[in-house]
Amino acid sequence: MSLFWRMFLSNALVLVIATALLMGPWVTVSNPVLMREVLVIGGGLLALLVTNALLFRLELAPLKRLTRAMTDANLQEPGQRIRVIGRGELAELTETFNVMLSRLEAERTASSGRVLSAQEAERRRVARELHDEVGQTLTAVILQLKALTDHVPSALREEVVTAQETVRDSLDEVRRIARRLRPGVLEDLGLTSALRALVAEFSRPGVSVGHQVDSSLPALDAEAELVLYRVAQEAMTNAARHSGADRIHIELRAAGTRTVLLTVRDNGSGLVGTEEGTGIRGMRERALLLGATLTLTSDDSGGTTVRLRVPLPAEGAA
């Protein structure tokens, strides 16, 4: 029965009962109206209003639950669905909302995948240009300054050597940026070697970076390895640059037969009072591509723990 007919018939039933009471010998009205008749009619009106209120609340409760679920829906936390109760228009509306939510999640995942793929392609292009164009130009400048050192007066030789060292430092910085944009180690040697190179990159005086990689990791495809690497890179960047941490630990291990767990811990300032920036939102977008679960927590003593739980496809589990 539709919502309209349920509400109409419930009100009609209340009105029929009230009419029958008025027409029967149980309720009579005098002229002028007596006080006891006023009490009877007022009590009947109150009962009618209460009954209608209860019936409306009962019938519209699923709508309230659906509204609350629509308000709380978050595409960054997929899988949230409303339980369909009963049949009729409200059940159809709930089912339609669940279907719409599934479609939005699929479209968001697909669009995020296209955006991230384009971003990775742009990273590779910029890294290649930095390495081939800027890197070669700076190398040529270093060679020219080195050749010039033997022909300048001794009073200027120290300045030329200083300029040569400055250009060499700039070349090292360009190469470092190119490696961060395009992880060649990941493509050539795999995820384990790429994570070790990442640990070596972030290790510096005053910052201790440790790592533990499970030697029995299941086989991962290129997309999963790239997501794991980028999340680890972003988590370590946040820890080193923004949280003031001096200890960072990264761990990659198998959590069961069909799940890989990446954990990055630091002893920095934590997440209290901070808002999610583009880096964390980027990590969540990458996690959605794999159907992975990303959680960020802070300890009571400070520090942040980033966990990425990546499920393996059926063929990978075997």
Q: What is the CATH number of the domain that holds 253?
A: 3.30.565.10
Report which of residues 91 and 27 the model is more confident about.
91
- What is the spatial distance between Cα 311 and Cα 313, in angstroms, rounded to a whole number? 7
Question: Mean of the pLDDT values across residues 215-235?
Answer: 84
Whether 182 is in a domain gets the answer no
Above 70 in pLDDT, residue 234? yes
Same domain, 102 and 195: no
Above 60 in pLDDT, residue 317? no
Highest-pLDDT range among 5-9, 34-38, 142-146, 306-310? 306-310
Same domain, 222 and 102: no
Whether 128 is in a domain gets the answer no
pLDDT at 31: 65
Residues 6+ apart with CB under 8 A from 210: 199, 247, 248, 249, 250
Structural domain count of the chain: 2
pLDDT at 75: 65
Structural domain containing residue 30: 3-106
Whether 131 is in a domain gets the answer no
Above 70 in pLDDT, residue 1? no
pLDDT at 86: 67
Cβ neighbours of 91 (radius 10 Å): 13
- The residue from 81, 106, 131 where one domain ends is 106
Contact 225, 190 (CB under 8 A): yes
Whether 165 is in a domain gets the answer no
DSSP state of 219: P
Same domain, 90 and 215: no
Same domain, 193 and 318: yes
DSSP 19-55: HHHHHSTT----SSPPHHHHHHHHHHHHHHHHHHHHH
pLDDT at 318: 38
Question: Mean of the pLDDT values across residues 91-102?
Answer: 81
- The residue from 87, 106, 125 where one domain ends is 106
Whether 157 is in a domain gets the answer no
Which token pair is 170? 């700039």
Contact 207, 246 (CB under 8 A): yes
- Tens digit of pLDDT for each residue in 115-146? 767 777 777 788 777 777 888 888 888 888 88
Same domain, 195 and 317: yes
- The residue from 46, 73, 106 where one domain ends is 106
Whether 233 is in a domain gets the answer yes
Whether 171 is in a domain gets the answer no
pLDDT at 316: 41
pLDDT at 37: 66
**Kind plus residue range of the DSSP H or E element containing 274:** none
CB burial class (10 A; 0-12, 13-18, 19+) of residue 195? buried
Whether 243 is in a domain gets the answer yes
Contact 288, 109 (CB under 8 A): yes
- Tens digit of pLDDT for each residue in 250-284? 998 888 778 889 999 888 877 766 667 777 888 88
**Kind plus residue range of the DSSP H or E element containing 193:** helix 191-202
Q: Residue 164: pLDDT band by 50, 70, 90 thresholds? A: confident
